[in-house]
């Protein structure tokens, strides 16, 4: 097993295959994600994205291949993988009927932080977001934008090495959305690896590198700029349409 | 009319495609009646009893024979002294001891009265009570046949009316109307309320509302398939009751059918009403369970006799539709009752239906929120 | 023709819509663009007669959703935000059901849905719940169209659908428009605005602007620059500190930046960034898009409303 400190990669996937009966959801995927990279993982519905992410998060075992996440093999040490990753989805993030602090405390406790650590980290999060006075507000009274920003911070409360984001900014207003990406940039600058899955291609534009999955294969893996150049188009949307049609 | 028919068909597809729920709906009534019939049987069969016969006269033996011949009791032990009696009960060799006093025959013939003592193992309170009741009724009958007429027996005659119309004292008889009351209201009311709120939750209600469908068409379309389903349930329970448990069917099938249809309509209208006041399937289910199941079981006289309830609960039970259903069904099935004996119940059903429908139509919103 | 004038709607203390007015012309593809919670669904439900406005009036071809909701419901087709077909019914059963409910048959209006339905027809025996997102969306559209509505109202039809299906969907809307159906569609995705004839930008219950997509971007009115470099985060922080910079937002691989007074201070900025350790910065003049405009309008209304 590799130690994370000696590897430049937060995620290493070699020849990942996942089969469900005769159906091959992931067909020999190979890719690496650098530490501190914002990595976009794209694909149409049913392209095998969800399966791959479940495997990366240690929720599902691959049929064959080697998957190392945060320095741990997902086959042999799924629990250690889970300790070292954070997850945030647009569909579910925080408990609406708990207060801001109660949510932070809950997630802190889930990841085994002490009461002291939780208090410190919650102060840090709330100060950064300018929500110090609002720690006892119920989540449901917050606007969607605030919820998203808070959810991202909560997903990192245990200082994970990698954060998985599922369509993190879909539906929020353009200004809030940019504030959110700033949070992501900042986290990446601190060395946290950001793994973004989305089918909104404008979210892909913000990533350092993106992969496009089609029918269980990786069809492309490069920086958005190079991909756009390769297909001679202006947007990732067009790149995507070129690759999948 | 075509719209309504299409709607009913769609609703039927929902029910048929959801195999698991459908199985539960069809099998639940069967399971219920079998459980009540066999497991929680309130019937006594060949219970071992002891006889402490102090009399040893002809009348005494006759009574013992009568007890043994009833089929409920098996004479497990003849007991000679009080110590032996206590020991047998404690060891569980017998569940009850019948103590026949000395000079039983002679004293029975006199007007001075006679006391037959029943000593039961009350560690199982319910079955002890049952044994005592059964023995009592046999002894009373024996007394009535052999004793002097016109004289009060020393044995308190407290046969409940239900035993009167249920001479074999079979408990499963009692549970058939009760189970029907419960199953029908549960399936009809809960399933309709859930199926209407489901449309609200999934957002398809919005499309139905912006369609030219009229509110009554939506409501009738939603409940129609459940009428059939409930009716199938009623028939299953009845058939199992009559053919497996030999529940008597003395009265008219015609009236029984009418009672059932009215009761099903009542339950459906109640379900519709519940759906108009609940926003989600979850709420509808909880209202149905707590507002229907528990009162049906506890307050309708199905399990606990209404006569024994505190005044407040007795009053509450009088607004429980299942109570009237149970009364009406018993009247038809066991007493061969006619329309005259059930018209009150039918009228009450009709009143409930009108009330629930009026409330539902008032509550049904042609717009959101 | 749809006229919305001065419509407000309150839910308790929340003002979902504040004096919203606009007009949709016959045969127009009209987009309502705004983030979640802007009031798009509420607005559509009021137009559809599903909700009553607290203030203001709505008129669809002379009919009012308040006074004559039955007439309204005969002339609209509606696709709610949530996928709201019956998942346990097959494709064909769903379509038959909605056709019958609206008093028509598939045959009668097949020509209308032909292009869309043909794509899902091979799966017509499949349960709707087993369809992919894109196919569900096509089925929902077919169901909303089957009775040949005058007005088609689509609430966020492309949310949760992949890029390929989205682009197919907009092509279909274009065809429907060409077939003479008035289409009112909402979306949180700003890039979809350019696919509409006219758009209303909406935020927190306010209409920010109503115009053609081109006019909306032209309204930006300032020179916009795209800034690219190696370390986006650092670049962003430093650009923001430069005194001549008015606004700067991350926009994918570039920052979108304006200078105070709409001037051009590229050289000064590059020098400033270089002094702060950021070499290889490229700045180019770019055209604003709807999102740029939306953000500038947001900041204007924010100022107006305190």
pLDDT digits (tens, 9 = 90+) for B257-281: 999 999 999 999 999 999 888 888 8
User: What are the φ/ψ torsions at residue C245 (nearest 5 degrees)?
Assistant: -80, 130
- For the structural domain made of B47-164, what CATH number should be given? 3.40.1710.10
Burial of A169 (0-12, 13-18, 19+ CB in 10 A): buried
Q: Is C229 on the interface with A (CB under 8 A)?
A: no
Q: Is C261 on the interface with A (CB under 8 A)?
A: no
pLDDT at B19 over 80: yes
Instruction: List the one residue out of C54, C25, C28, C27 whose CA is nearest residue C39.
Output: C54
Tokens of A88: 């945030």
Query: Confidence class of residue B72 from pLDDT cuts 50, 70 and 90?
Result: confident
What are the chain B neighbours of C85 within 8 Å (beta carbons)?
A: 204
The region of weakest confidence among A2-11, B99-108, B294-303 is A2-11
* DSSP type of residue B38: I
Do A80 and A197 belong together in one domain? yes
Q: A118, A144, A159 — which closes off a domain?
A: A159
Q: What percent of chain B has pLDDT over 70?
A: 85
pLDDT digits (tens, 9 = 90+) for C82-115: 767 899 999 999 999 999 988 888 888 888 888 8
pLDDT at B130 over 90: no
Distance from CA of C15 to the nearest CA of A (A): 14
Integer Cα distance of C120 and C131 in angstroms: 9
pLDDT at B159 over 80: no
Do A95 and A57 belong together in one domain? no
Q: Give the 3-state secondary structure of residue C258.
A: strand
Taking each helix axis from N to C end, the angle separating C133-145 and C91-101, rounded to the nearest 10 degrees, works out to 20
Chain C nearest-CA residue for B10:
C97
Do A175 and A79 belong together in one domain? yes
pLDDT at residue B154, rounded to an integer: 45
Do A245 and A167 belong together in one domain? yes
Distance from CA of A138 to the nearest CA of C (A): 16
Tokens of C260: 């105070």
Instruction: List the one residue out of A9, A167, A10, A2 whose CA is nearest residue A85.
Output: A10
The stretch A102-124 carries a mean pLDDT of 92
Highest mean pLDDT (candidates B132-136, B163-167, C55-59): C55-59
Q: What percent of chain A has pLDDT over 70?
A: 97
**Residue A71 Cα to chain centre, angstroms:** 17
Q: How many residues does chain A have?
A: 245
pLDDT at B149 over 50: no
pLDDT digits (tens, 9 = 90+) for C49-72: 999 999 999 999 999 999 998 899
The stretch A88-98 carries a mean pLDDT of 82
Nearest to B212 among C74, C78, C80 (CB): C74
- The superfamily (CATH) of domain C222-287 is VP9 protein domain (3.30.70.2070)
pLDDT at residue A4, rounded to an integer: 45
pLDDT at residue C46, rounded to an integer: 95
Integer Cα distance of A69 and A83 in angstroms: 11
Sheet holding C2-11, edge to edge: C14-24, C2-11, C55-60
Instruction: List the one residue out of C238, A175, C97, C43 whose CA is nearest residue B2.
Output: C97
Do A77 and A175 belong together in one domain? yes
pLDDT digits (tens, 9 = 90+) for C180-218: 999 999 999 888 999 999 999 999 999 999 999 999 999
- Other beta carbons within 10 angstroms of residue C219's beta carbon come to 13
Cβ contact A180:A23 at 8 Å: no
Do A111 and A79 belong together in one domain? no
pLDDT at residue C30, rounded to an integer: 97
Integer Cα distance of A114 and A197 in angstroms: 31
Integer Cα distance of B174 and B334 in angstroms: 10
Tokens 């009696």 belong to B85
Chain B nearest-CA residue for C49:
B367
More confident site: B76 or A157:
A157
Chain B nearest-CA residue for C149:
B211
Tokens 């379309």 belong to B221
Chain A nearest-CA residue for C293:
A174
Tokens of B334: 């066991």
Q: A113, A136, A159 — which closes off a domain?
A: A159
Do A174 and A69 belong together in one domain? yes
Domain ranges of chain C: 2-216, 222-287
Do A169 and A54 belong together in one domain? yes
Mutation to test the C interface, candidates A36, A42, A45, most C Cβ within 10 Å: A45
- Adjacent-strand bridge partners of B46: none
Helices (H), chain C: 40-47, 69-75, 91-101, 110-120, 133-145, 163-178, 213-218, 232-241, 266-275, 290-304
The stretch B8-22 carries a mean pLDDT of 89
Mean pLDDT over all residues of chain C? 91
Q: Give the 3-state secondary structure of residue B365.
A: coil
Q: A113, A135, A159 — which closes off a domain?
A: A159
Do A111 and A41 belong together in one domain? no
pLDDT at residue B153, rounded to an integer: 44
What are the chain B neighbours of C103 within 8 Å (beta carbons)?
A: 2-3, 212
Instruction: List the one residue out of B313, B32, B327 whose CA is nearest residue B186.
Output: B32
The stretch B173-198 carries a mean pLDDT of 83
- Other beta carbons within 10 angstroms of residue A115's beta carbon come to 10
- For the structural domain made of C2-216, what CATH number should be given? 3.40.50.300
Integer Cα distance of C230 and B227 in angstroms: 71
More confident site: B11 or B143:
B11
A243 dihedral zone (left: phi>0; alpha: psi -120 to 50; beta): alpha
Integer Cα distance of B234 and B260 in angstroms: 7
CB pairs A-C closer than 8 Å: 92
Cβ contact B153:B113 at 8 Å: yes
pLDDT at B169 over 60: no
Tokens of C148: 């040949």
The stretch B226-249 carries a mean pLDDT of 86
Spell out the residues 6+ positions from residue B49 whose beta carbon is closer than 8 angstroms to its own: B67, B73, B74, B75, B76, B94, B95, B96, B97, B98, B131, B135
The stretch C223-236 carries a mean pLDDT of 92
First to last CA, chain B: 28
**Residue B360 Cα to chain centre, angstroms:** 29
CA dihedral B354, B356, B359, B362 (to 10 degrees): -70
Domain ranges of chain B: 2-40+170-363, 47-164
Mutation to test the A interface, candidates C41, C156, C163, C235, most A Cβ within 10 Å: C163
Nearest to C37 among A143, A224, A237 (CB): A143
The stretch A111-115 carries a mean pLDDT of 91
Tokens of B116: 């037959």
pLDDT at residue B111, rounded to an integer: 59
What are the chain A neighbours of C189 within 8 Å (beta carbons)?
A: 200, 202
Q: Enumerate neighbours of C (3 or more CB pairs within 8 A).
A: A, B
Do A148 and A171 belong together in one domain? no
Nearest to C133 among A45, A224, A241 (CB): A45
Do A24 and A137 belong together in one domain? no
Chain A nearest-CA residue for C233:
A185
Give the CA distances from residue B241 to residues A45, C141, C195, in Å, rounded to whole numbers and listed in that order: 54, 52, 68
Q: Enumerate neighbours of B (3 or more CB pairs within 8 A).
A: C
Chain C nearest-CA residue for A239:
C163
Do A48 and A100 belong together in one domain? no
What is the interface pTM, i.e. ipTM, of the complex? Answer: 0.84
Query: Confidence class of residue B40 from pLDDT cuts 50, 70 and 90?
Result: low
pLDDT at residue A6, rounded to an integer: 56
Query: What is the tally of structural domains in chain A?
Result: 2
pLDDT at A55 over 50: yes
pLDDT digits (tens, 9 = 90+) for C155-186: 999 887 888 888 889 999 999 999 899 999 99
Q: Which domain range does residue A128 map to?
A: 91-159
Cβ contact C178:C170 at 8 Å: no
Q: Do B207 and C49 touch (CB under 8 A)?
A: no
pLDDT at residue C196, rounded to an integer: 96
């Amino acid at each position: 097993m590799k130690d994370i400190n000696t590897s430049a990669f937060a995620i290493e996937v070699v020849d990942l295959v996942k089969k469900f009966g005769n159906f091959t959801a992931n067909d020999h995927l190979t890719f690496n994600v650098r530490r501190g990279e914002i990595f976009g993982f794209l694909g149409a519905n049913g392209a095998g994205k969800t399966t791959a992410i479940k495997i990366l998060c240690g929720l599902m075992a691959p049929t064959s291949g080697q998957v190392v996440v945060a320095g741990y093999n997902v086959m042999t040490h799924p629990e250690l993988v889970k300790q070292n990753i954070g997850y945030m989805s647009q569909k579910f993030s925080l408990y609406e009927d708990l207060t801001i602090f109660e949510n932070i405390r809950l997630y802190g406790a889930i990841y085994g932080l002490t009461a002291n650590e939780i208090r410190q980290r919650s102060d840090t999060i709330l100060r950064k977001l300018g929500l110090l006075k609002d720690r006892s507000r119920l989540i449901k009274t917050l606007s969607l934008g605030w919820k998203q920003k808070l959810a991202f911070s909560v997903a990192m409360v245990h200082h994970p090495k990698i954060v998985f984001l599922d369509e993190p900014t879909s539906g929020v207003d353009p200004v809030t959305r940019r504030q959110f990406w700033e949070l992501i940039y900042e986290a990446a600058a601190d060395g946290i690896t950001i793994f973004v899955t989305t089918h909104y291609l404008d979210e892909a534009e913000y990533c350092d590198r993106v992969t496009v999955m089609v029918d269980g294969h990786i069809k492309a893996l490069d920086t958005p700029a190079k991909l756009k150049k390769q297909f001679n188009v202006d947007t990732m949307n067009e790149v995507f349409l070129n690759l999948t049609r | 009319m075509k719209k309504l028919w299409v709607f009913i068909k769609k609703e039927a597809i929902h029910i048929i495609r959801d195999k698991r729920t459908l199985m539960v709906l069809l099998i639940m009534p069967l399971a219920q009646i079998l459980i009540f019939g066999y497991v929680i049987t309130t019937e006594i069969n060949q219970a071992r009893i002891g006889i402490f016969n102090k009399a040893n006269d002809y009348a005494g033996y006759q009574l013992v024979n009568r007890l043994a011949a009833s089929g409920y009791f098996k004479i497990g032990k003849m007991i000679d002294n009080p110590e032996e009696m206590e020991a047998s009960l404690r060891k569980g060799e017998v569940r009850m001891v019948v103590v026949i006093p000395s000079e039983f025959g002679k004293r029975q013939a006199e007007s001075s009265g006679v006391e037959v003592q029943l000593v039961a193992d009350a560690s199982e309170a319910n079955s002890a009570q049952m044994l005592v009741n059964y023995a009592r009724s046999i002894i009373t009958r024996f007394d009535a046949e052999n004793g002097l007429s016109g004289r009060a027996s020393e044995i308190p005659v407290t046969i409940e009316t239900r035993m009167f119309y249920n001479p074999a004292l079979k408990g499963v008889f009692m549970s058939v109307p009760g189970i029907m009351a419960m199953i029908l209201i549960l399936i009809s009311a809960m399933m309709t309320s859930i199926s209407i709120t489901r449309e609200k939750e999934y957002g398809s209600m919005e499309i139905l509302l912006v369609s030219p469908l009229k509110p009554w068409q939506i409501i009738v379309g939603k409940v129609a398939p459940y009428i059939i389903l409930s009716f199938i349930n009623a028939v299953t329970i009845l058939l199992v009751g009559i053919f497996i448990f030999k529940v008597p069917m003395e009265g008219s099938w015609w009236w029984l059918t009418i009672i059932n249809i009215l009761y099903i309509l009542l339950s459906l209208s109640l379900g519709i009403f519940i759906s108009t006041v609940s926003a989600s399937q979850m709420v509808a289910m909880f209202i149905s369970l707590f507002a229907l199941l528990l009162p049906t079981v506890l307050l309708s006289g199905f399990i606990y006799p209404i006569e024994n309830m505190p005044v407040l609960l007795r009053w509450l039970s009088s607004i429980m539709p299942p109570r009237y259903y149970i009364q009406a069904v018993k009247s038809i099935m066991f007493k061969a009752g006619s329309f005259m004996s059930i018209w009150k119940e039918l009228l009450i059903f009709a009143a409930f239906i009108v009330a629930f429908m009026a409330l539902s139509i008032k509550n049904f919103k042609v717009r959101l929120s | 023709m749809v006229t919305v004038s001065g419509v407000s709607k309150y839910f308790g203390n929340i003002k979902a819509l504040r004096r919203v007015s606009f007009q949709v012309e016959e045969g127009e593809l009209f987009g309502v663009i705004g983030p979640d919670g802007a009031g798009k669904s509420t607005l559509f439900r009021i137009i559809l007669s599903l909700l009553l406005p607290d203030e203001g009036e709505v008129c669809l071809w002379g009919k009012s959703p308040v006074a004559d909701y039955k007439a309204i419901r005969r002339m609209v087709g509606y696709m709610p935000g949530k996928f709201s077909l019956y998942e346990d019914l097959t494709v064909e059963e769903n379509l038959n059901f909605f056709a019958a409910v609206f008093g028509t048959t598939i045959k009668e209006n097949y020509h209308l849905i032909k292009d869309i339905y043909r794509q899902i027809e091979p799966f017509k025996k499949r349960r709707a719940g087993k369809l992919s997102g894109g196919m569900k969306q096509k089925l929902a559209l077919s169901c909303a169209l089957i009775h040949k509505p005058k007005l088609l109202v689509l609430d966020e039809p492309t949310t949760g659908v992949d890029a390929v299906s989205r682009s197919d969907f907009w092509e279909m809307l274009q065809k429907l428009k060409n077939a003479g159906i008035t289409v009112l569609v909402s979306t949180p995705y700003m890039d979809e605005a350019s696919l509409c004839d006219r758009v209303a930008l909406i935020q927190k219950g306010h209409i920010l602007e109503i115009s053609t997509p081109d006019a909306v971007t032209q309204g930006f009115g300032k020179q916009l620059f795209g800034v690219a470099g190696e370390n986006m985060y650092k670049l962003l922080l430093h650009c923001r500190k430069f005194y001549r910079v008015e606004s700067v937002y991350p926009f994918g691989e570039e920052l979108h930046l304006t200078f105070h007074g709409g001037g051009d201070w590229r050289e000064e900025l590059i020098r400033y960034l270089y002094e702060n350790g950021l070499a290889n910065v490229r700045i180019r003049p770019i055209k604003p898009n709807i999102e740029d405009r939306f953000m500038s309008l947001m900041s204007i209304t924010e100022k107006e409303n305190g």
